[in-house]
Structure 1
């Protein structure tokens, strides 16, 4: 390869590096972003109409020093059995995750019970002395000690939330109008159609608040 081709190749690589440097920076800009989002669509928060009320509960508890019980979220499944035409679920399967987010916004103390796969795996490894933890004053890998399992090290929950999505109705009420116009005796025949429809649907959810130690159902709500 000639020297001229090497110079051209080096210039091309430098140009690409400069372009990439313009997209990614080690210092965040005024918007707090390190990189330019593809399509100018940055990651944004996803608040709901209930977020303000949940944050208000959290602020009230902090202001008056009200301790929160330990809360857990169990399985909140879709019991409607509805399936869309393309084969997927018609109703979300993430209701338990939404309940976790709502409790966190309200300032509740949450213990994980919905997905304990990682904790159970590491507990099994620790029981076989396969996981090591370094002490704060460790000088090297030889100071690593296996993780000990202590009785009572996992805090228990006081209450947990379970339930399910129990009802979905696609067309409780509907209304609208259709307007059509057509021309046949004209040099430029054509037609126009205006259509407007409004459908009312509802989704119902039944939730239970259960005391963990006694399994007593202390509250039941049914919302739609």
Structure 2
């Protein structure tokens, strides 16, 4: 290939201009896409990046759904503590430090917080401040600004008679046990006269091992071991050769990998969810379908209260879809048909079973457990039609009403699932249309909000 001296001159001039531009301190190429702000006269501009946001993971919707599932179960409050979740891989770099996060226990704490619901989190990982203040109290040094009476004497220190620390029911411990580099890698490079592209992909994995222990008996209730793979890529092109009497060494490229520590957080969150399901005796598979391959837009706190409705719309993979929209019954039904809603606003109930909810709540009324047992018995003989009712004083806007109905239906599906009724056997046969603002009264002080059909 022949290059003219004119072409060489233009190439040298372009390279010189690029070098000058990069050497200029004010050049925007040194901070592409980053805003800067001069905080005081004479100071260098400070780069300002993106604002703080919720640290979300692909497990957000699943954790929120699981918390809703625990609420719907209406079980006892459980106090959960977290012990050490250490890095047992031993991987360390003198330049970069530990390859694996040392905050595994903190990630488990955060996972418990994302689940929420009836779980109470007990601090056992770092009780330093509490223990120090107990020491101050023991030495009669701690006060709250008030005067207290002890044995008939008024004292400025805070009396302490013990018993204020809540016991834990279970605690979670374990560690990150594997970091496997270069499970598989491959790539290619084509170079002609020291000019050419290259590409490479590589895979590594981590594993976590956790267990949940009964705090009183120290019995290990369940263990779990999860692993996750990470794939990275690297692409580039380079030029290293003489053009005329000038040597050019130009390299461009890009590389990326799923964040290692985010993957560990995701694995710990899923492990925590499965461990809690073991002690709460609920099936986590209803919510595991909401685990995503991407980072969701909303955090678990924002999804709580409506996350459990999604599995109902999608249905269990093995049991078929569950629809939250009205469907026509597939078989003849009693005279009080499922879709027979009076235009006057009063919906007759007939002999249909009823499940009720308190005002604005997703908790079933007190007699619900007996009704649920009756539903299961009748479902063994054929389809069962059930009316969902709430207080007549509820008069929400359509959006809030629909959201509350979704959460209430989710609570019923979870309660029935715990009794052996698959989600795929439950269908919604009537619910108010989005444009329907009327109250469908049913009996004194109550209104009908939905109807469902259950098949076993």
Q: With structure 2 as the length reference, what TM-score do the two structures score?
A: 0.37
Where does residue 143 of structure 2 map in the other structure? Answer: 132
Where does residue 205 of structure 1 map in the other structure? Answer: 208
Structure 1 residue 197, shift from structure 2 partner: 1.2
3-state DSSP class of the match of 1:146? coil
Q: Which runs of 5+ in 1 are unaligned?
A: 1-18, 21-36, 137-142, 183-190
| Per-residue deviation, residues 35-80 of structure 1 (Å, max 9, x unmatched) | xx96142111111011111111112233443333100000011111
What aligned pairs does 1:142-181 form with structure 2 within 5 A after superposition? 145-181=156-192
Q: Which runs of 5+ in 2 are unaligned?
A: 1-37, 40-45, 148-153, 228-456
Cα distance between partner residues in 1 of 2:73 and 2:172: 25
Q: Could you tell me which of 72, 87, 95 is aligned with 1:78? A: 87
CA contact (8 A) 1:179 1:193 kept: yes
Where does residue 5 of structure 2 map in the other structure? Answer: none
Where does residue 193 of structure 1 map in the other structure? Answer: 196
Where does residue 65 of structure 1 map in the other structure? Answer: 74
3-state DSSP class of the match of 2:192? strand
Cα distance between partner residues in 2 of 1:163 and 1:59: 26
| Per-residue deviation, residues 126-164 of structure 1 (Å, max 9, x unmatched) | 11111101349xxxxxx9832222221100100000011
3-state DSSP class of the match of 1:172? strand
Deviates more, 1:192-201 or 1:124-133: 192-201
Cα distance between partner residues in 1 of 2:120 and 2:56: 20
Cα distance between partner residues in 1 of 2:74 and 2:196: 62
CA contact (8 A) 1:211 1:218 kept: yes
Larger radius of gyration: 2
CA contact (8 A) 1:133 1:144 kept: no
Alpha-carbon spacing, 1:39–1:204, altered in 2? closer, same or farther (3 Å): same
Q: Could you tell me which of 107, 113, 121 is aligned with 2:132? A: 121
Deviates more, 1:165-174 or 1:38-47: 38-47
Figure out how many residues of one structure are paired with residues of the other and give that number.
Answer: 177
Deviates more, 1:213-222 or 1:168-177: 168-177
Cα distance between partner residues in 2 of 1:162 and 1:64: 26
Where does residue 97 of structure 1 map in the other structure? Answer: 106
CA contact (8 A) 1:80 1:168 kept: yes
Cα distance between partner residues in 1 of 2:80 and 2:90: 29
3-state DSSP class of the match of 1:181? coil
Cα distance between partner residues in 2 of 1:56 and 1:67: 18
CA contact (8 A) 1:134 1:144 kept: no
CA RMSD of aligned residues (A): 2.4
CA contact (8 A) 1:162 1:209 kept: yes
Q: Could you tell me which of 32, 41, 45 is aligned with 2:50? A: 41
| Per-residue deviation, residues 8-45 of structure 1 (Å, max 9, x unmatched) | xxxxxxxxxxx98xxxxxxxxxxxxxxxx961421111
